[in-house]
Structure 1
Amino acid sequence: MTRRVFNLAVRAAFMAAWMVPLSALVAGCKVGPDYVRPTADVAATYKEVDARKLDNTGWTPAQPADAASRGAWWQIYGDAQLDALEARVGEANQNVQAAQARFRAARANVAQQRSSFFPVVTAGAGFSRTRTSENLAYTSKAGRTINDYSVGLDATWEPDVWGRVARSVESARANAQASAADMQAVLLSMQAELATDYFELRGIDRERRLLDDTLAAYRESLALTQHRYDGGIATDADVGQAQTQLQTTEAQAIDLGVQRAQLEHAIAILVGQPPSTFTLAVLPGAPLSAQPFASPPGVPSTLLERRPDIAAAERRVAAANAQVGVATAAFFPSLMLAVTGGLEATNYSQWLVAPARFWSLGPALAGTLLDFGGREAVRNEARAQYDASVAQYRQTVLDAFGQVEDNLAALRVLEQEAVAQDRAVDAAKRTLAIVEDRYKNGAITYLDVVVAQTTALSNEREAVTIARRRLAASVALVKALGGGWNAAALASVDGAAPAPAPASVAHATTDATAHATTNAAPSAVSHD
């Protein structure tokens, strides 16, 4: 008896399984536009590369030019403490964790959409006991109590004749790839923010060390002035000026503690640790000793593959294009195949025997004849969303080029400013030495010393500020260049095919015909 039930289940499963190979025959037709990567205007070279050639400054990378493509890009700065902190971002930063969760959800959605290629098989068993009315005349069931035992399998399948499911899978896969790129963009952003905060904190440490050294010199000056006053050489105004200079500088040194504490707290949050339990000690030696990284970024067209945000925007264009196909499939009828089989009897002893078998098999074809423009409106909406995603993609490309140019310009200008500022610092130090010597000889008043000291300190602090800005621009440049990431990594997302190569990239130096082709937004309408 058990074998009969098993045989029946096998037969019902077989009736459902024969439909699966058929899907390979009917799924070849996909309505809607096939995806073509949109074009974007790309210059042949970066403006700032040409600017460096004109002023003969060239490029002076702190490491080999390819160092930013090694993955752990922060290692180019040679700071072991920064390396240790960066290693914690991917594991503990909550923004990165949230992005990873969104990627897992997008990948699960791909599996959900792909499951629609196959039949849905359900099984059920039931028992009911029914008492009929004795007033049912002319029936043999009047006044009877009837048992009903049943067990069955149901299989339903909608062949993907018009490619609706295929387009849905295509869209979900592109969204999963976009989510993977988003995850990398968030990770890169958090890593860059950590490096920027870290160098800012080290800059404050360097500035605090400068102020501490200055305070030591000011105390000596105050002691000297007090000694000269006791000897009747200096005036009480000189002593007052020396005291004011010392106390003002002490207040400036104390004020740096607020900025340092805030940066330390920000770093703690970035590495996923409560600020109250995190401390970043002052490094022995010279803080802010890292050199800014300035490397030729290559041709602009490579940026389309190196920036995760550009890759994410391009993948969303592909997803929107597939949704146009999904909306187009609604104009065609759907085919549904259903199989039902099982056992049913009114007596338990007769339940699991051959005569209790039942089955049914039949197709159903259904289509919408009139919806007063509803489907057309849905397709128009999908087309509009596609056009919007194309515009967003091109805007993302423009923003990316702007960020690279901004930071290349910042590095070039700050490099020149640093050289000029170093000369100013040297000149201020020489002037201060001369003024102090003349004051000791009684040739000038202490006010001249105060002015020279203020000028020297201001120039030295400005030099530290420029050094911090150069490192911040260097980190921003690495981030703008993608941090060594490449869009080819998206090929491994759910076994998906890699994104189309940017073969349609147009250079800004091409002729008017190329410009007309580039600037025309590709529309899904013409592909229907």
Structure 2
Amino acid sequence: MNRRLMSITASITASITASIAACIALGACAFGPDGKPPATPQPAHYGVEPQAQASVTAEGASQRFDVGGKPVPEWWKLYRSDTLNALVDEGLRASPNLAAADKSLVAAREQLRAQVGSSLLPQIDAGGQATRQRGFGIPEAGPPTVLYNLFVGQIQAQYTFDLFGGARFANAALAAQVDQQAFQLDAARRALAANIVTGAIGAAALHAQIDVTGRLVALANDDAHDAERRYALGSASRADMLDARQNAASLASQLPGLRAQWLATRHALAVLLGRTPDRAPDDLDLASLAVPSDVPVVLPSELLQTRPDIQAADAALKAAAAQVGVATAQLFPSLSISASMGKGGFDWPTALSGAGALWSVGASLSQPLFHGGALLAQRRAAIATYDAAVDQYRQTVLSAFQNVANTLASLETDSEALAFADSASNAARDASADAAARVRLGAIPPRAARGSEQQYLNARLATIRASSARMSDTAALFQAMGSPVASAASVAQAQDAQR
């Protein structure tokens, strides 16, 4: 009996396997797309105009755009500030958002291992049962009711053949989703570094603007007091006095807004570092930061491999393609085999003896026939999801090109604006110094020197804004370039570390 049942099972398996091989050989089984990303446009340059080789010189520094260069891993170190480096390192190490994303990635990888093990390998379980039962007996053979014990111990095995690749497609989909999560973590890490750099630059710039604006308010108050004295002496009109008061009050009204913006920036920076807002770091000295002189501009064709968001969209595309295969495999037959062996009896001696041997072996075959159109609808839904992933990939690539183009354009105009602002500031500074010297000689009244200093300070505010904008946009460009493409050796080393 054992051999006959096993022979029947083997013949069923062989016939189904032969049918599958013939189906695949004839090309009748089209399970889904290959998951390769679609062809995308490759522009000659990112923006409307070709990329300049270098920016104009501003504050004694010019930036060279290295077209075809490679992304810089720790680009924030090019600002040559140990304090800024320490802030970025602290944020990457202590950010709760990054820690949560990293642990979620670990959990996703473990879930992938669990799914692969449960879908491609047999399941073997051991079980035992001991019961005492009351049942109805046969009146002619004995009492109408009987009490008896039942002892059973056995090992059960079950395996479902992945004949049409449904399990493999599901594993591929989950693996692609894990890759997508890994790329998203890389994007979040790079975004955090860029936000810390721009936050530190923004706080330093706001601090400098508050200092300059405070000096402007002090000069305006001196002008107002001088106008009041001259009005009392009859040498100034009441309109002049009121204009001076209005100017001083208008300048003073700018300080609360600047302070609120400065404090909000510092609080946000503290949270990025994993600190509470009351432990915000001290402001950097804007003048101590060096503008990176060499900025890489990755070729558009290579940007597809360096941008984590594009890589994440590619992984999502592969996951959607695999899901089409899963939905298609559900339309085909499923074969499972099971076997068990153990011991059983109405008492322990019988259960442990040769007479208590138990075994079973079987196979089950199922073929979907009618599910109300659900399986076909699920496949059509998977195909539509894949088509949406293709379009989303194209949109991600276009958005990446736009991001780089806008950042490059902003960086070029930042340098031009800074050059003009710096030239105006230098001229106003020299004029203010000349006016101060003439006041010391008694050639002009003090209020004339104050007016000249006010012009210089206003020009200085424009310089501070333009300088911080160039530094922040430089950080944005470094982030837009993505991450260096990992070599095969480094990828293998990372995979070994994960195992």
Distance 1:177 1:219 in 2: 62
Q: Measured at CA, do residues 189 and 438 of structure 1 come closer, stay the same or move farther in structure 2, by a change above 3 Å?
A: same
* 1:386 and 2:389 correspond: no
Residue 31 of structure 2 aligns with an amino acid whose one-letter code is G
Asked if 2 retains the 8 angstrom alpha-carbon contact of 1:307 and 1:485, the reply is no
SS, match of residue 45 in structure 2: coil
Query: Which residue of structure 2 lines up, in the alignment, with residue 118 of structure 1?
Result: 121
Residue 181 of structure 2 aligns with an amino acid whose one-letter code is S
Distance 1:362 1:96 in 2: 50
Distance 1:415 1:305 in 2: 29
Give the superposition deviation at 1:192: 1.1
Structure 2's unaligned 5+ residue stretches are 1-9
Q: Which is worse superposed, 142-151 or 338-347? A: 142-151
Query: Which residue of structure 1 lines up, in the alignment, with residue 7 of structure 2?
Result: none
Asked if 1 retains the 8 angstrom alpha-carbon contact of 2:80 and 2:289, the reply is no
SS, match of residue 137 in structure 1: coil
Q: Measured at CA, do residues 51 and 123 of structure 1 come closer, stay the same or move farther in structure 2, by a change above 3 Å?
A: closer
Query: Which residue of structure 1 lines up, in the alignment, with residue 477 of structure 2?
Result: 477
Asked if 2 retains the 8 angstrom alpha-carbon contact of 1:242 and 1:450, the reply is no
Pairing of 1:243-282 with structure 2 (within 5 A): 252-253=254-255, 255-276=257-278, 278-282=279-283
Deviations 1:214-263 (A, max 9, x none): 5777788899x69x969x89759788877776676566456533222111
Query: Which residue of structure 2 lines up, in the alignment, with residue 128 of structure 1?
Result: 131
* 1:398 and 2:398 correspond: yes
Q: Measured at CA, do residues 144 and 454 of structure 1 come closer, stay the same or move farther in structure 2, by a change above 3 Å?
A: same
Residue 262 of structure 2 aligns with an amino acid whose one-letter code is R
Give the superposition deviation at 1:140: 5.2
* 1:354 and 2:354 correspond: yes
Query: Which residue of structure 1 lines up, in the alignment, with residue 4 of structure 2?
Result: none
Deviations 1:303-346 (A, max 9, x none): 11111110000011001001111111111110010001110011
Asked if 1 retains the 8 angstrom alpha-carbon contact of 2:84 and 2:197, the reply is yes
RMSD: 4.0
Distance 1:54 1:288 in 2: 23
Pairing of 1:338-349 with structure 2 (within 5 A): 338-349=338-349
Distance 1:166 1:346 in 2: 44
* 1:107 and 2:109 correspond: yes
* 1:162 and 2:161 correspond: no
Q: Measured at CA, do residues 210 and 99 of structure 1 come closer, stay the same or move farther in structure 2, by a change above 3 Å?
A: same
Residue 32 of structure 1 aligns with an amino acid whose one-letter code is F
Query: Which residue of structure 1 lines up, in the alignment, with residue 5 of structure 2?
Result: none
SS, match of residue 150 in structure 2: strand
Pairing of 1:116-195 with structure 2 (within 5 A): 116-133=119-136, 136-139=138-141, 142-195=144-197
Give the superposition deviation at 1:203: 0.8
Query: Which residue of structure 1 lines up, in the alignment, with residue 3 of structure 2?
Result: none
Distance 1:429 1:218 in 2: 18
Deviations 1:378-398 (A, max 9, x none): 110000000001111110110
TM-score, normalisation: structure 2: 0.81
Number of aligned residue pairs:
470
Q: Measured at CA, do residues 66 and 321 of structure 1 come closer, stay the same or move farther in structure 2, by a change above 3 Å?
A: closer
**Identity of aligned pairs, percent?**
26
Give the superposition deviation at 1:356: 0.6
Give the superposition deviation at 1:162: 0.6
Query: Which residue of structure 2 lines up, in the alignment, with residue 32 of structure 1?
Result: 31
Give the superposition deviation at 1:206: 2.4
Asked if 2 retains the 8 angstrom alpha-carbon contact of 1:177 and 1:490, the reply is no
